[in-house]
Chains A and B, each alone.
Chain A
Amino acid sequence: MSTTTTSRTALDSLRVRGHRRWVEEAIRLALFLCAFLSVATTVGIIWVLVREASAFFFAVSPIEFLTGTRWAPLIEPRSFGVLPLVCGTMLVVAGAALVSLPLGLASGIFLSEYASHRSRNILKPVLEILAGVPTVVYGYFAITFVTPLLMRVLPQTQVFNAASAAFVVGIMILPMVCSLCDDACRAVPQSLRDAGYALGATELEVSTQVVLPGALSGVLASFVLALSRAIGETMAVTLAAGATPKLTMNPLESIQTMTAYIVQVSLGDTPAGGISYQTIFAVGALLFVITLIMNLLANRVLRRFREVYE
């Protein structure tokens, strides 16, 4: 560029370029550090959980923790079997699945296959408001509306019970299922639907026998992600499900979930450093591992099947 100008300006231009390159590199590094912070966060989570949970597992054997059937870390005689908490969590998740998976899948199919453009544009954002409602609000709704209603229908219902917590958690994750199923169904090419109609299939047959099998991976991934969200849900189950760690399959009884237990300890005045304090890290580690496996699974399913049509 500077072949015809004097050597002085050429040198200047080189110097400017060198400066620019240096600035460019510095900016690139700064931006990389921002992106790398996510890895640092994960490392931080794992480090914290492993450090504190390993202190716990020096005192309590992991086998006792994972197979014990009595959870009483705060009262004598102490006992550290986590199964009642896992059972309570699973009870809530199963109930939430019963509510959200059929409703979410059905409304996802409706939005992508049946709804007019206009009603879709109204219904989808309205359903997404459900996802934006804070979880503490769902907890409030559960204890002031769902539980009283349930008690009127089934008088043996306890004031705090798994069923109403499960119901509101189901409603909370419904938009997630619906939205992801809708996306998955819409990713199925129109030509497949047209082929179905050309063979004389009805709308239902096209939806369930052409679109749904094509969208299956997305639908399954949405189920796994939604259930992972339900496992980690905290405030609604803390408010509505009670604080009674119990091995039961009766959804009308009071139970305690893993997340609700963690909140209970952090609300109380358990001194930092003691064994009962370390339990929250052990339970938190279990929670993290379960949701991590589910998220990895869902991501893998999604990635493997995403590009089938391209």
Chain B
Amino acid sequence: MSEVATILLKSEGSNLQRRHRRSRMMKTFFQVATWTGVFILAILLIQISWQAMGWLDLQFLTSFPSRFAEKAGIKAALWGTIWLILLTAVISIPIGVGAAVYLEEYSGPSWLNTTIEINIANLAGTPSIVYGILGLALFVRWLDLGRSLLAGALTMSLLILPVTIMASREALRAVPKSIRLASFALGATRWNTIRHHLLPAALPGIMTGIILALSRAIGESAPLVMIGALSYVAFTPNGPMDSFSALPIQIFNWASRPQKEFYSLAAAGIVVLLLVLLTMNAAAIWIRARAQKDSRW
């Protein structure tokens, strides 16, 4: 009897040890997997900064593209990106926030609203190049806007609209129901309530979402290639109907050349692009953190 118990205990004990050992081993594996991602990000950043070293100077920022790597710069691309983002913001913010307000505050359950919701989820997963095809057929050719900034901004707006809508809805949903009820109880209409209470309260969340959506638009290049943004532009745009280049397009062009010296130019362009993106992300995080601190509920 006691012999059996000892054997049982022993086998249990070694079994338990084995199970714990396996658990520890897998924990290490999970940990290594997580750090692999961080590690690769570090390699990517170091490798690109290394390549860009020596090429990133004032001359690079203030020169137009050139056949000679030493003379080439990103002036046109940088201005094109700034124009593109401003236009995209002007178009997409009112529409995106408006759609979010409708879906959160007005719409009840109906087949139309369900259709709209499923639609937005699907559009968020549609490849960006499909938006490029749409932009090419609809804006460039059908509306005859040509290869202009406006055509690019309209395409980009459609591309980031689902993200903007989803982020803004998230922010509106976080405003407590009591705020709405208090406002209605005082006789305010729905729009009064939205305009004076919900939008101000949700503003930090909406802004965070918009900044992240716009930073996605800054990095996108496939739709711009489709609608025919140019890689060689030797002027800065003066209006929304001008043709343009953008940072990712310029990088793509340099990176796809056979001559190796253009790789360094591409790397320098990437550093500028990543700096812009990181600044925007930092701004979004800062707004979110400040809003959480000042939150009234």
Contacts and interface: CB of A to CB of B under 8 A. Distances in A.
Interface of A: 20, 23-24, 27-28, 30-32, 34-39, 41-42, 44-45, 48-49, 51-52, 102-103, 106-107, 109-111, 113-115, 123, 125-127, 129-130, 132-137, 139-141, 143-145, 171, 174-175, 178, 202-205, 207, 225, 228-229, 231-235, 238-239, 259, 262-263, 266-267, 272, 280-281, 284, 287-288, 291-292, 294-296, 298-299
Contacts of B131: 45
A185 B143 CA distance: 48
A232 B208 CA distance: 26
A49 B285 CA distance: 39
A39 B117 CA distance: 9
Contacts of A123: 34, 38
B130 A45 contact: yes
B125 A35 contact: no
Nearest to B228: A266
Given A204-B23, A235-B221, A41 B161 contact: yes
Interface residues of B, number: 85
Given A24-B189, A140-B255, A41 B130 contact: no
B37 A175 contact: yes
B99 A137 contact: no
A232 B30 contact: no
A38 B120 contact: yes
Contacts of B266: 140
B33 A102 contact: yes
Given A28-B106, A134-B248, A144 B263 contact: yes
A35 to B, nearest CB: 4
A263 B226 contact: yes
A299 B121 contact: yes
Contact of A32 (B23, B36, B102, B133): B102
B141 interface: yes
B125 A130 contact: no
B158 interface: yes
Nearest to A106: B33
Interface stretch (B68-76, B173-181, B273-281): B273-281
Given A31-B101, A144-B263, A234-B222, 9 more contacts: A38-B116, A45-B126, A45-B131, A48-B134, A107-B34, A233-B127, A239-B256, A259-B222, A266-B132
Interface string B233-273: 00000000000000010011001100000010011001001
Interface string B176-197: 0000000000000111000000
A136 B248 contact: yes
A281 B134 contact: no
A203 B34 contact: no
A257 B241 CA distance: 33
A114 B98 contact: no
Contacts of A42: 119, 122-123
Contact of A145 (B31, B33, B43): B43
A270 B165 CA distance: 37
Contacts of B225: 235, 263, 266-267
A41 B274 CA distance: 30
A263 B252 CA distance: 12
B10 interface: no
Contact of B189 (A20, A51, A133, A137): A20
8 contacts: A36-B116, A45-B133, A103-B33, A106-B29, A133-B219, A135-B221, A235-B222, A235-B248
A136 B252 contact: yes
Contacts of A125: 285
A132 B277 contact: yes
Contacts of A174: 37
Contacts of A284: 129-130, 133
Contact of B30 (A52, A114, A136, A294): A114
A39 B219 contact: no
B121 A114 contact: no
Interface in B38-95: 38, 40-41, 43-44, 47-48, 51, 94-95
B281 A132 contact: yes
Interface string B109-121: 0000001101111
Contact of A205 (B19, B48, B95, B161): B19
A164 to B, nearest CB: 13
A110 to B, nearest CB: 4
A70 B248 CA distance: 32
Nearest to A48: B137
B37 A287 contact: no
B215 interface: yes
A190 B279 CA distance: 37
Contacts of B51: 144
